[in-house]
Amino acid sequence: MPVKTQVGIIGAGPAGLMLSHLLYLQGIESVILESRSREEIEGTIRAGVLEQGTVDLLNEMGVGERMMREGHFHKGFEFRFNRQGHRIDVHELTGGKYITVYAQHEVIKDLVAARLQAGGTILFNVGDVSLHDVDTSTPKIRYRPDKDGELQEIVCDYIGGCDGFHGPSRPMIPQANRTEYQKVYPHGWLGILVKAPSSVSELVYANHERGFALLSTRSPEVQRFYLQVNPKDDIKEWSDDRIWSELHARLETRDGFQLLEGPIFQKSIVSMRSFVCDPMQYGRLFLAGDSAHIVPPTGAKGLNLAAADVKVLAEGLKSFYATGDSEMLNRYTEICLRRVWLAERFSYRMTNMLHRNPEHTPFEHQIQLAELDYITSSRAASMSIAENYVGLPMGFGS
């Protein structure tokens, strides 16, 4: 016999877990299906710069206690160029808002614990997930438990496609009904985790003639650093000595900044792209997070956009189940995409301003520096950057 639930959710990343818990708080049932194990999703280390709205939402959901205890709350960040640092005072420029550094896998741990403590259903290690009848009033999800055995079926009222860029949800929107926008960047990020004390108290974004670099932190003992590289590079070509040499060169300052070294215990190279799917819904299927849009990590918007999506979706489902009103669900794409495109714009701007593009002329390199000079010397320009960095209000455009 098929299982019945109100909302079937594919994917136990931040989007799927947040959606499920928001629905639970409104008395709406859901089931989450995840192809990986709990250990895998909680152990995949990814960046975590949280907007003020995301922090507020997690606290409103009752899952922010550990974040507030262990997260790093920054009042600003630094643009570094021409071997000199220029601080953007986000706290002052935005009327008291913060940037919170709290890794994505820690957010996932908190959400998984909350869902299981509340008796929520998360089916890990499932395989062969497929969606059916999404344009009817009874959409279905089929899967194999533990990636083995006979196919099982869940009958839903709605489906939340929170399964990332490569998941099965987005292809269910017919190609004739969707437009996909994409830009692939000519550079990637080499990210490392280092056992070392922090060299800085806030994030540093560096523009250097050798390429971009970023300093971030994970804990008082673990730091996260990034280097702009060719996305086709083999990680084996990047020895620890080569990485440190590049970091020192790209982060040096006229006043003798000292980068503290330590053992590198993780390193990888990721490519960078911008992507948007329009619409984000079809029938009873709603996309959220990376299944609908991707941003380059320079703007730190990925997890935050997922949170904004599911807040809108949860509000729409709440309204539907309480009153039968589907107006907000019908406007889901319209509401979400306005904020998505503004975040895409900001991430695109940050990426182009900070990275060295091999196709650019010396003239364009000087324009980059002039842009950074203007942003860090004009209060109006600094306010614009700060407002976008801490995040536009959730539900912006509704």
Q: pLDDT tens digits for 230-239?
A: 999 999 999 9
Catalytic residues: 74, 205, 297, 301, 389
Secondary structure letter of residue 270 according to DSSP: E
Which residues make up the CATH 3.30.9.10 domain(s) of the chain? 188-270
Give the total residue count for the chain: 398
CA neighbours closer than 13 Å in the CB half-sphere of residue 144 = 7
Cα gap 63→147, rounded to integer Å: 30
Specify the pLDDT at position 44: 80
Q: Bridge partners of 143?
A: 152
The superfamily (CATH) of domain 3-48+103-183+273-355 is FAD/NAD(P)-binding domain (3.50.50.60)
Q: Bridge partners of 127?
A: 144
Specify the pLDDT at position 398: 52
Which fold would CATH assign to domain 188-270?
D-Amino Acid Oxidase; Chain A, domain 2 (3.30.9)
Contact 3, 123 (CB under 8 A): no
Among all chains, which residue has been given the structure tokens 């220029």? 86
Cα gap 288→170, rounded to integer Å: 10
Secondary-structure breakdown of the chain: helix, strand, coil percentages, each rounded to the nearest 5: 40, 25, 35
pLDDT in tens, the chain (398 residues): 789 999 999 999 999 999 999 999 999 999 999 999 999 999 887 778 999 999 999 999 999 999 999 998 999 999 999 999 999 999 999 999 999 999 899 999 999 999 999 999 999 999 999 999 999 999 999 999 986 789 999 999 999 999 999 999 999 999 999 999 999 999 999 999 999 999 999 999 999 999 999 999 878 888 999 999 999 999 999 999 999 999 999 999 999 999 999 999 999 999 999 999 999 999 999 999 999 999 999 988 999 999 999 999 999 999 999 999 999 999 999 999 999 999 999 999 999 999 999 888 999 999 999 999 999 999 999 999 999 999 987 655 55
Which residues make up the CATH 3.50.50.60 domain(s) of the chain? 3-48+103-183+273-355
Specify the pLDDT at position 146: 80
Residues with Cβ within 8 Å of 251's Cβ and at least 6 positions away in sequence, in order, are: 80, 204, 206, 208, 213, 215, 257, 259
Specify the pLDDT at position 395: 58
